[in-house]
Structure 1
Amino acid sequence: MSTQLDPVDLVRSISFGSRVAEDEAKELRDYFVQTETWRQVREGEVDVVLAPKGSGKSAIYSMLLGEQDALFDEKVLLAPGENLSGTPAFAALTAEASLPESQLIGIWKLYFLVLISEEIEQYDLKSESSKKLFEHLRDAGILPEHRPKATLLTMVREYVARLLNPKSAETSMSIDGVTGAVTGFSGKIEFSEPSFAATKDGHVSVDALYALAEKALQDAGYSLWIVLDRLDAAFAAFPELERNALRALFRAYGDLASYERVKLKIFLRSDIWENVTDEGFREASHIVRETAIVWDSDSLRQLVVRRLTRSDALLAHFGRTAESVLASTESQNAFFYEVFAQQVDAGSGKTETWKWALSRTEDGTGTSAPRELIHLFSEVRNAQLARHETAQTAPEPPALFHPKTFDVALPVVSKARLAKTIYAEFSDVKPFVEKLARQKTEHNLASLGLLWGTDASQTADMVRRLVSIGFLSERGKTQNYWVPFMYRPALEMIQGKADGVA
């Protein structure tokens, strides 16, 4: 039996959570949608997860870290390669934005080796192999000893720079106990097989150290996953370094693919991956254990409904349990339309509310990301509370949200998406996008060239760029270009075709 509660209190009891997974790590497990991508990651079937910004990549990463204890019971150790919050550790590499690829490959491989040794030490996986591994790293001055990741990266970067530039090499390496800075150098770890004489003198290859790490894990019966996320945040201000560093990362991934006990798990934005490979990247063909995050209408609706079911007051009001609501796509849809009105815009033939929400949060690729969808419903909640405060017309029961709240919410989402994704991530397109403000929503090359003051070649190049980042959508084979609903309110655009567009 349902319990009738005050509508304002009911709306207040609902939380759609944060748009950013890192901000709600503790709550994430309660409403995380266990997609096929998650299953593949959790079962160790994939190594590389590609996804557009805001589509849940970091949520899967956070959930995986939350499985640390369960994975340990399954003989799998997790080693985060990046700080979970705050300043990215990889930002330490930006101190020298022109690092050559050979050094970057060396940095990745040696850094991962340091992380592996840290986990082996932490879990006390003692063996003859681990002892030898620690000895070599200690002699080189890069044994972890519980230093912050940024410090470890700095140590590794200094070591690799001196190793690959022998003229600058010193006679020994020592580490400042306070700052972690390298003050001396002795290069006995090499990136190729050392000569017989060098071997006798204690030199060893990185590959030989990985073999020791593999043997140490094998002897203990464990595997180890090094998990990497936030790569976009690390190099945001250094696009050329980002490109080189990620190409080096995937070359290092290829070099380590033969090891059974050590695996890299890389979470990367798909647009950044496309930038890495757009001029050809032979190593891409070697990455076969990858997956892309794909959301369909049912899984996105479940994402929203799961967050609704976290409100005990809401469930009591409608006489439901979380289990009964989430039992099927049909029950989820039915509950959604108890909470929300059937349509945003009144009238026969108008779009249903759920389809309206999806279409208004899609970019030019036709993708609706969880981040914008969650933001939309959060703003709908805020708008409904504002309506209660100003005593505006209440929604028709049983709905708790007036259809007009969606019209209020969309411009907020639109402005955030335009500023935080388009302008922040692709600053080169900003002057061209801004010229579309208060213009019509559908254009062709001629109308855009006239608006931008560009010739045919420049116009075509910019259109391709805007299509690739999802700001424009090509309409069929007409070479007409359409600005998605998501960006229109922020730019105050006018529905319709520009002059001269057929």
Structure 2
Amino acid sequence: MNRVELLKQVSFGEQVAEDEVNELADYFVETNQWDRIVAGKIDIVRGEKGGGKSAIYALLMSKADDFFDKSILLVPAEATRGQTVFKDLAADPPTSETEFVTLWKLYIVTLVAQQLREFDVKHDRINEIYDPLEEAGLLEKQLNLRSLLRAAQDLARRIVKAEAFQGELTIDPNTGAHTYGGKIVLREPSKDQKLKGYITVDHLIEVVDAVLAGNRLNVWILLDRLDVAFQDNHQLEENALRALIRAYGDIRAHPQISLKIFLREDIWKRIGATGMREASHITKYVVLDWNQSTLLNLVVRRILKNDVLVKEFGLDKEQILKDASLQEELFYRFFPQQVEQGPQKSPTFKWLVSRCADGTKRTAPRELIHLLRSILDEEIKQLERGRPAPDGDQLFDRSVFKAALPVVSDARLHTYLYAEYPNEKDYVAKLEGQRTEQTPESLAELWGMSRSAAATKAARLVELGIFEERGTREQTSYWVPFLYRDALKMVQGRAEADEEEN
């Protein structure tokens, strides 16, 4: 087949998991971490942006029927696409942590109750759940997450302010039967209040757990996209997530209900930086980590998803995926051995991984996939301009690799860093055109501040992966990773404080 026509049919997939839900089962690398998540041994999945959290979430939801066969109901607490349900909280956020915790609990218990009703679950205590939630306006015939969140927030606010949401005992005019009109309160009600039908949110959760246990059911509430929901307001984000972790800690005592929280590592570190007692009790978590072998396996899976390549080159997909050495062999069948030639230069895959790594030395699949897509686009452009195709089965000429980097670098800088950390934008922007290695002295001069203030700001940028800290405590320097260099048009070398700017 003509090389250009062949490449136009090739795809490395989408960068964002939500855009390729149907293909994830073919792409996904089932690691020990995945096995632990599926087994229910993990509640909190942490990872870098683009590190695979949403892929795991999407893959779990795609296997909902398999989980149902094991008596586990998977319940998404967020819209999988479009504007997030929690975005509305920014306009009128809860005013206290107690209100936020109550909001989370009401929202979660209603989601579970909605599932119980949808599957027509039977139990002699089921109306202890339905009646108070219906009276409070939370349980509706048709689930609408946005509407539910608004109702839960309104009720949480009233509970906290008044310590009781007043309801009344009513009589069904048709049957004459008394209907339970539970009054949802913040604190444990007295004996007299209990007789009048008062109930706490925590008691509701206990009843839900008992009903699930009686039916040998488990419910997993999946919470993803929390980074998108609150990205415009870091203080609200911290408040929301602290409250969620508190709610998680309380709900964890009820084994039939599990919260599965997908959270970005930088956000986790930020909310923990000012202290979070509940964090020390969290043991069922995993931090997603990628190394060269797992990233190579991911890339090979995406290569083998292209039927045109499998057919054109006679590839045995099953055999290749069983053998790590065959995976490496396949990669170098299509890619050059080195991008930069020389005995001291890295092989191509290591070069790709290093160019997509941030200052923490971690490479997220999203950037690697983006770079491969850009390499593919650049190769097609060069072939269309008349450049000869590489020899043999090699699909990509080494000349396209560096040409593809600026696209990835620019996306990382603008759609991640500047968009999510606007307070750091002015400091990072001043690095444009500067040397790739900075010192506290050179940064102090560049930013117009004292050396100690510059070192403090640099430490913040180290946390965000803009800098990699090197040297010793006495002679510290800050190295900008390749991932950001092209977008900032930086010059290789070490900056000096007295260096004259051109």
Q: Give the corresponding residue for 1:193.
A: 188
Question: 2:467, 2:37 → 1: CA distance?
Answer: 32
For residues 449 and 98 of structure 1, do their structure 2 counterparts lie closer, same or farther at Cα, with a shift above 3 Å needed? farther
Matching residue's letter, 1:156: A
Which deviations, in whole Å up to 9, do the C-alpha atoms of 1:123-148 show, x marking residues without a partner?
11111122221112122222132231
Which deviations, in whole Å up to 9, do the C-alpha atoms of 1:179-205 show, x marking residues without a partner?
xxxxxxx98111321112211111111
Matching residue's letter, 2:112: I
Q: RMSD across aligned C-alpha pairs, in angstroms?
A: 1.8
Alignment pair present for 1:110 and 2:112 = no
Given the alignment, which residue of 375, 380, 383 partners 2:375?
A: 380
Matching residue's letter, 1:453: G
Alignment pair present for 1:492 and 2:484 = no
Q: Give the corresponding residue for 2:138.
A: 142
Question: 1:250, 1:167 → 2: CA distance?
Answer: 23
Alignment pair present for 1:401 and 2:390 = no
Question: 1:501, 1:152 → 2: CA distance?
Answer: 60
Q: Give the corresponding residue for 2:159.
A: 163
Question: 1:475, 1:395 → 2: CA distance?
Answer: 39
SS in structure 2 of the partner of residue 96 of structure 1:
coil
Matching residue's letter, 1:389: E
Question: 2:160, 2:43 → 1: CA distance?
Answer: 29
Given the alignment, which residue of 4, 10, 15 partners 1:8?
A: 4
- The answer as to whether partners of 1:395 and 1:403 remain within 8 angstroms in 2 is no
Task: Output aligned runs, 1:401-420, within 5 Å.
Answer: 401-420=396-415
Given the alignment, which residue of 23, 42, 45 partners 2:41?
A: 45
Question: 2:286, 2:164 → 1: CA distance?
Answer: 43
Percent identity, aligned pairs only, is 40
- The answer as to whether partners of 2:29 and 2:297 remain within 8 angstroms in 1 is yes
- The answer as to whether partners of 2:165 and 2:183 remain within 8 angstroms in 1 is no
Alignment pair present for 1:443 and 2:438 = yes
Q: Give the corresponding residue for 1:20.
A: 16
- The answer as to whether partners of 1:159 and 1:187 remain within 8 angstroms in 2 is no
Matching residue's letter, 1:404: S
Q: Aligned-pair distance for 1:425?
A: 1.3
Which deviations, in whole Å up to 9, do the C-alpha atoms of 1:432-464 show, x marking residues without a partner?
111111111011100111111111222011101
Q: Give the corresponding residue for 1:306.
A: 301
Alignment pair present for 1:220 and 2:222 = no
Q: Aligned-pair distance for 1:114?
A: 0.3
Question: 1:12, 1:191 → 2: CA distance?
Answer: 61
Question: 1:325, 1:310 → 2: CA distance?
Answer: 12
Which deviations, in whole Å up to 9, do the C-alpha atoms of 1:355-388 show, x marking residues without a partner?
1101100000000110000000000000011011
Question: 1:264, 1:456 → 2: CA distance?
Answer: 45
Q: Aligned-pair distance for 1:288?
A: 0.7
Q: Aligned-pair distance for 1:501?
A: 9.9
Gaps of 5+ in 1: 173-185
Question: 2:299, 2:442 → 1: CA distance?
Answer: 39
Task: Output aligned runs, 1:81-480, within 5 Å.
Answer: 81-97=77-93, 99-166=95-162, 188-477=183-472, 478-480=475-477
For residues 167 and 62 of structure 1, do their structure 2 counterparts lie closer, same or farther at Cα, with a shift above 3 Å needed? closer
Matching residue's letter, 1:348: P
- The answer as to whether partners of 1:41 and 1:47 remain within 8 angstroms in 2 is yes
- Once superposed, which parts of structure 1, at least 4 consecutive aligned residues long, lie more than 4 Å away? 167-172
Aligned length: 486
Q: What TM-score does the superposition give when structure 1 sets the normalisation length?
A: 0.94
Question: 2:62, 2:136 → 1: CA distance?
Answer: 34
Question: 2:215, 2:163 → 1: CA distance?
Answer: 41
Which deviations, in whole Å up to 9, do the C-alpha atoms of 1:393-434 show, x marking residues without a partner?
322322111111111110100000010111111111111111
SS in structure 1 of the partner of residue 138 of structure 2:
coil
- The answer as to whether partners of 2:164 and 2:186 remain within 8 angstroms in 1 is no
SS in structure 2 of the partner of residue 326 of structure 1:
helix
- The answer as to whether partners of 1:342 and 1:353 remain within 8 angstroms in 2 is yes
Q: Aligned-pair distance for 1:167?
A: 9.4
Question: 1:454, 1:500 → 2: CA distance?
Answer: 12
